[in-house]
Chains A and B, each alone.
Chain A
Amino acid sequence: MTTTTSAGTRKLTIARAMAEATAQEMRNDPRVFVMGEDIGPLGGVFGNTRGLYDEFGPERVRDTPISETAFIGAAVGAASDGMRPIVELMFVDFFGVCMDAIYNLMAKNTYFSGGKVKVPMVLMTSTGGGYSDAGQHSQCLYGTFAHLPGMKVVAPSNAYDAKGLMTAAIHDDNPVVFMYHKSLQGMGWLGTEKGATVPVPEESYTLEIGKAAVVREGHDVTLVSLAAGVHHCLRAAQALEDEGFSAEVVDLRSLVPLDRETLRASVAKTGRLIVVDEDYHSFGVSGEIIASVVEHDHACLKAAPRRVAYPDIPIPFAPTMEQWALPNADKIVDAFHQMMLS
């Protein structure tokens, strides 16, 4: 079902935006099909395949057994043979059982065949915590996937970007890992972030993979994040404005390719950099962002860069402990204060 209100007034959750993009591509291209656990009549536990089973049936919207090794391997095979599968790894935390299919097959078949075999598949997977689902259902693992060459990686912060990136991912002849944050899906029990539900055009459109967005302009500090972290940054920027400081917020949107030019241009303007990442602190996205800026030009920095990232610990179940560990707007504001004191 769709809504036919005048342009600019209809809003979608990220879950609905992903489902709408998928449905539009399935209507256009018979090679596109979906596989995963509970993605059929249930519509996905995070809502992002709602309506697809009713419209396209069990041949093209295929519920699978709980064997990621088998069905993600099958998707790689189907993609290598000319189909365009969209396959869901329900929680990114369980990549361990199917990583060989992902990083040795999906990510490498194009290279190993000298470009003769394309692997045009989308691996969509949920990330993030905040609703007490503990250490095996709450991780982001952005850095893990972005680290390994051969696959594109996107992580939208709102429904408009999600629809455009999903359409672009389906069109792409390379494997794309589409990482959607649970708190942005519009499913209330996952801690819904209102800012992710935004007006979305009904017609199909693409958003170029590999382009960051300056979602708020400022001149005192650059706050860089992705997915749910963007909303923490926007709240922090509002709090800093009340104190008389002007923060710029950069939404990465894609990790691979990484839009280093937009990052560098922003920090060149503000002279200060704080990276916000719900993935683990060490060896990850936040370090890569800082390195990308300082190895290019450290002279533009007025202060040492800082990061507000997840501490290097397994994610606690206890709500108070989990909230203590997660990034939030207060921690970003505090990092800025410390930066200005040092």
Chain B
Amino acid sequence: MSIVITVPDDLWEGDSEGVITAWLVNDGAEVAQGDLVAEVMVEKAQYEIEAPSTGVLSITKQEDEVVEKGETIASLES
């Protein structure tokens, strides 16, 4: 089963774009639900992205890429 990781709609206020500053887990690693997997910077503030379920991480949006709310940045295969 594949579950996508998206930028949560309520992660920050307003409609600003963000930038992925760090993937804290390597592509292909297994993560557990609730793990911190990435950091997104929006206007000098850092926001955390957690894994919505347990699975093997497949990154689609790389570090330094611009992201919007709701956008898919990775998927988890379980």
Contact = CB atoms under 8 A, between A and B. Distances in A.
Interface string A1-23: 11111100111110000000000
Given A11-B22, A13-B22, A3 B39 contact: no
B22 A192 contact: yes
B34 A1 contact: yes
Contacts of A6: 29-30
A2 B31 CA distance: 12
Contact of A4 (B24, B26, B32, B48): B32
A11 B25 contact: yes
Interface in B40-78: 41, 44, 46, 48, 50, 63
A175 interface: no
A300 B50 CA distance: 53
B37 to A, nearest CB: 7
B71 to A, nearest CB: 17
A186 interface: yes
A9 B29 contact: yes
A2 B46 contact: no
Chain A interface extent, by class: 10 to 19
A192 B41 CA distance: 11
A215 B39 CA distance: 27
A12 B24 contact: yes
A66 B6 CA distance: 39
Interface residues of B, number: 22
B46 A187 contact: yes
The B contact surface, by secondary structure, is strand
Given A9-B25, A11-B25, A12-B24, A1 B48 contact: yes
Contacts of B39: 13, 186
A5 B25 contact: yes
A4 B41 CA distance: 23
Interface in A8-48: 9-13, 47
B19 interface: yes
A187 B35 contact: no
Nearest to B41: A188
Interface string A170-210: 00000000000000001111001010010000000000000
B55 to A, nearest CB: 11
Contact of A3 (B19, B35, B63): B35
* A1, A47, A188 interface centre (most CB from chain B within 10 Å): A188
Contact of A188 (B21, B30, B31): B21
Nearest to B39: A186
A47 B44 CA distance: 11
Contacts of B29: 5-6, 9
A188 B42 CA distance: 9
Given A2-B36, A9-B29, A188-B46, 11 more contacts: A1-B36, A1-B50, A5-B25, A5-B29, A6-B29, A9-B30, A11-B24, A186-B21, A186-B39, A188-B19, A194-B63
Interface of B: 19, 21-26, 29-32, 34-37, 39, 41, 44, 46, 48, 50, 63
16 contacts: A1-B48, A3-B24, A5-B29, A5-B31, A6-B30, A9-B30, A10-B24, A11-B25, A13-B39, A186-B22, A187-B21, A187-B44, A188-B46, A189-B41, A192-B21, A197-B22
